[in-house]
Copies of this chain bind each other. A is one copy, B any other.
Amino acid sequence: MSKIAILGFGTVGSGVLEVLRTNAALATRRAGQPVEVKYICDIRDFSSHPDAKLFVKELDPILNDPEISAVVETIGGTKVAYPYVKAVLESGRHVATSNKELVATHGAELLALARKKGVCFLFEASVGGGTPVITPMYQCLAANVLSEVHGIVNGTTNFMLTKMEHEGMDFEEALKLAQSLGYAETIDPSADVDGIDAQRKICILASIMFGRHFYPKNVRARGIRDVSVKDIALAKCQNAAVKLIAWAKQTENGPALGVEPMLVPQTSQLAGVSDVFNAVMVHGDMLGDVMFYGKGAGKLPTASAVVADVLDALRNGGSIQESLFWQDSEPWEGTYEDSSSSDWYVRASGDTAAAEKVFGTIEILEESADEIAFTLREKSDAECRELCEKARKENICVKNVLKWLAH
């Protein structure tokens, strides 16, 4: 019998209890022994909960119980989760977490601690929710040098963009709907709509890919606030969909990372990924492209990935940690920029002549009385930003600029 504890009894934490109980026979088979939740740590009052006797308000009873061999962290954030996870690993127990902020901020340190203690620190659920992404990347693609990863890693914004595309909703309407369905935070939806969630996730994937830690503050992230129904319609005319893409790649000048809404051609598998689904495309030197697709969030999907990690830790112990490991990076103030060239979609005020004066050769997509949309070929991110800056100085209002996903 393996006994575990759950830290944080919110959506995912309560899902972990449910998954372990619903599929107890399966868990026993996979872990090689029955798995029982002995403690649930949460500062809130659960005295009338059917499992009230499992609840504790502090970590100490868990740390002091020699029967506990693994701990699930589903508190979220870093304020409590970070010291708690550190203490659990220090005490020689495995940790499985769904907390992307924790991994993106303290991953390298916690991995080193886990390695030192011979235990596991696993976090499959931190990217893609229940969809397997991290394990296939470091395990199944172990014989490949990974040169690029890009994908749709935020289900909330993908749901909103789908509604904008299929039902013509504007950003505000789509956000309200996402909030009413519980996909986006009601008070402050910025983690989703401003790309902060995606920024954390791409840092985790890049850290696996390059073997060293990438911190969110060094990654340029832009959300979907300025994507309009007009942009989506013009993208459609170009056989493309607008998607919030998180990407990381090896370039001539080293690693480049970013999060931004992009034009994804319909020939890419990512263009057809709709609603709250996520999909991550990984490029390996031997394998070419592979894609992992599934629900990116949700109580039971995410919880099932946390449980799979726990079962893996209980069965295989610290030996699996060696292959999922990355070094820390030196603190640094800049951002990982991509110096390679891309094609761009630009929508701006003015006419062809005014646009050509600033941008040079352009391909017109649509021109109306006061607005123009065009394609700009083969510019780097920096060159494109510079041209837009120049346009603003010429009193051209640049309404949106979106990169084409190379495919």
For A131-172 the 0/1 string (1 means CB < 8 A from B) is 110011001111111000000000000000000000000000
Neighbouring B residues of A32 by C-beta, 8 Å: 322
Q: Are A23 and B145 in contact (CB under 8 A)?
A: yes
A6 within 8 A of B: no
Among candidates B19, B130, B291, B303, residue contacting A293 with C-beta atoms closer than 8 Å = B291
| Stretch binding the partner chain, chosen from A220-228, A241-249, A280-288 | A280-288
Q: Are A139 and B308 in contact (CB under 8 A)?
A: yes
Give the residues from 301 to 331 in chain A that come closer than 8 angstroms, CB to CB, to chain B. Answer: 301, 303-305, 307-308, 311-312, 315-316, 319-320, 322-323
Report the separation of the CA atoms of residues A26 and B142 in the bound assembly, to the nearest whole angstrom: 7
Q: Are A294 and B290 in contact (CB under 8 A)?
A: yes
Q: Are A288 and B295 in contact (CB under 8 A)?
A: yes
**Given A132-B290, A287-B294, is A30 in contact with B304 using a C-beta cutoff of 8 Å?**
no
Q: Which residue of B lies closest to A306 (CB)?
A: B143
Neighbouring B residues of A23 by C-beta, 8 Å: 143-145, 285-286
A210 within 8 A of B: no
A255 within 8 A of B: no
Neighbouring B residues of A273 by C-beta, 8 Å: 269
Q: Which residue of B lies closest to A307 (CB)?
A: B143
Among candidates B26, B132, B140, B323, residue contacting A145 with C-beta atoms closer than 8 Å = B26
**Given A145-B26, A307-B143, A308-B142, is A300 in contact with B287 using a C-beta cutoff of 8 Å?**
yes
A76 within 8 A of B: no
Neighbouring B residues of A29 by C-beta, 8 Å: 323
**Given A293-B290, A315-B322, A322-B32, is A124 in contact with B140 using a C-beta cutoff of 8 Å?**
yes
Report the separation of the CA atoms of residues A22 and B287 in the bound assembly, to the nearest whole angstrom: 13
**Given A19-B286, A304-B286, A315-B323, is A139 in contact with B130 using a C-beta cutoff of 8 Å?**
no
A336 within 8 A of B: no
Q: Are A132 and B140 in contact (CB under 8 A)?
A: yes
A27 within 8 A of B: yes
Which 7 A-B residue pairings sit nearest by Cβ, starting from the closest? A290-B294, A132-B140, A286-B304, A143-B307, A291-B293, A132-B136, A130-B287
Sampled A-B contacts (25; CB under 8 Å): A26-B144, A27-B142, A130-B286, A132-B139, A132-B140, A132-B141, A135-B139, A135-B140, A136-B140, A139-B312, A140-B305, A140-B308, A141-B304, A141-B308, A143-B307, A144-B304, A269-B269, A269-B293, A287-B304, A290-B292, A290-B295, A293-B293, A315-B322, A315-B323, A319-B319
